[in-house]
Amino acid sequence: MKLIIHGGFFSESDQSQETKTAKQQALKDIAASSYEYLKNHSAEETAVFAVSQLEDNELFNAGTGSQIQSDGKIRMSAALMNGVNSRFSGVINVQNIKNPIQVAQVLMKEDDRVLGDDGAKKYASENGFADYSPETPQRRQEYEEKKKNGGKGTVGCVVIDAQGRLAAATSTGGKGFERVGRISDSATVAGNFANEFCAVSCTGVGEDIVSNGTATKIVTRVTDGKSLEEAFTKTFEELKAIDGFSGAIAIDNQGNIYHQDSHPTMVFASFDGTSFEVFE
Ligand code: ASP
């Protein structure tokens, strides 16, 4: 059993040591509580549990504390993939709910598993998700000040459970100040992908992640026999060739974990029951 979570990149508008330390501590706490949860739950359930906690922490750009788009509204995206049955579910640009990743989880049982905009909100309401404003004063201030580099800070989790099952979950408030209608990578297979061999969650500039097909490529390379390191090295070389900005975390079915980022400011934490690895 093992898991690794990420909290996106450090905000370019707030590089203070205080914020870095607070994010690292939050990741450490969430990795520990999620590992406890993993003892009695599946990889899929644990990925949702971990990402829900990250969504609820306003330090991160997902759920509460999501960034505001150019028209002053918050639209969130999240996806879940179960490595056992290769099912992918997600919501794209959903408004006014607390935990987009939990809607993705409920969607797993549906034929129509990726919903957008009003349809996603309607489905959430029909399934008991209350109206909730994810806006925080900090994000409103950033928006008002038009700090366009408000910071990339998507969250994600990849897990292997006691039965060796893999899952990946990713949730985001987007890039901030984006055009209405813009689609994030987080609820696509470029940003979140898993099968029986490997699970990957990405963060960074969504357009770069989609252009590079990052999560799917890494998983495919591991499926075809490459090590995580080889798969990441090749995929990030390809990202560099398009001058891309992103990072990813991964776990394989042997319990190996790996992470890499194009810019060294990504925050992540892993836990295997005895030792933590936290980005310093
Ligand atoms: N990948 C997200 C997006 O482009 C942003 C992020 O990772 O912070 O929507």
Q: Is 126 exposed, middle or buried (0-12, 13-18, 19+ CB in 10 A)?
A: exposed
Q: What is the pLDDT of residue 16?
A: 78
How many structural domains comprise the chain?
A: 1
pLDDT tens track for 120-159: 999 999 999 999 999 999 889 888 886 555 455 799 999 9
Question: Do 215 and 193 form a contact (C-beta atoms < 8 A)?
Answer: yes
Nearest residue (CA) to ligand 1, atom 9? 174
Which atom of ligand 1 lies closest to the CA of 151?
Answer: 8
Cβ < 6 A, ligand 1 pocket: 8, 61, 152-154, 172, 174-175, 184-186, 203-206, 209
Q: What is the pLDDT of residue 20?
A: 83
- Distance in Å, CA 123 to ligand 1 centroid: 24
Q: What is the pLDDT of residue 168?
A: 98
Catalytically active residues are 154
Per-residue DSSP letter, 67: P
Q: What is the pLDDT of residue 274?
A: 77
Which atom of ligand 1 lies closest to the CA of 203?
Answer: 7
- Distance in Å, CA 140 to ligand 1 centroid: 18
Q: What is the pLDDT of residue 14?
A: 60
Q: What is the pLDDT of residue 149?
A: 53
Which atom of ligand 1 lies closest to the CA of 204?
Answer: 7
Q: Which of 77, 172, 259 to mutate to test ligand 1, by most ligand atoms within 8 A of the CB atom? A: 172
Question: Do 190 and 214 form a contact (C-beta atoms < 8 A)?
Answer: yes
The maximal CA–CA distance of the chain, rounded, in angstroms, is 49
Q: What is the CATH number of the domain that holds 54?
A: 3.60.20.30
Place of tokens 């990578």: 185
Token pair, residue 159, equals 């897990």
Question: CB-hemisphere CA count at 13 Å for 110?
Answer: 17
- Distance in Å, CA 77 to ligand 1 centroid: 9
Q: CA–CA separation, 179 vs 39, rounded Å? A: 42
Q: What is the pLDDT of residue 9?
A: 81
Which atom of ligand 1 lies closest to the CA of 178?
Answer: 9
Residues 93/99/101/105 CA torsion (nearest 10 deg) = -120
Q: What is the pLDDT of residue 152?
A: 54
Residues of the chain with pLDDT under 70: 10-15, 146-152, 279-280
Token pair, residue 104, equals 């993705």
Q: In terms of residue numbers, what domain contains 15?
A: 2-279
- Distance in Å, CA 76 to ligand 1 centroid: 10
Q: What is the pLDDT of residue 272?
A: 80
Residue type, 122: K
- Distance in Å, CA 205 to ligand 1 centroid: 5
Residues whose CB is less than 8 angstroms from the CB of residue 29 and which lie 6 or more positions away in sequence, other chains included: none
Q: Which of 59, 61, 152 to mutate to test ligand 1, by most ligand atoms within 8 A of the CB atom? A: 152
Token pair, residue 254, equals 């042997």
Q: Which of 170, 203, 266 to mutate to test ligand 1, by most ligand atoms within 8 A of the CB atom? A: 203
- Distance in Å, CA 274 to ligand 1 centroid: 31
Which atom of ligand 1 lies closest to the CA of 205?
Answer: 4
Residue type, 131: D
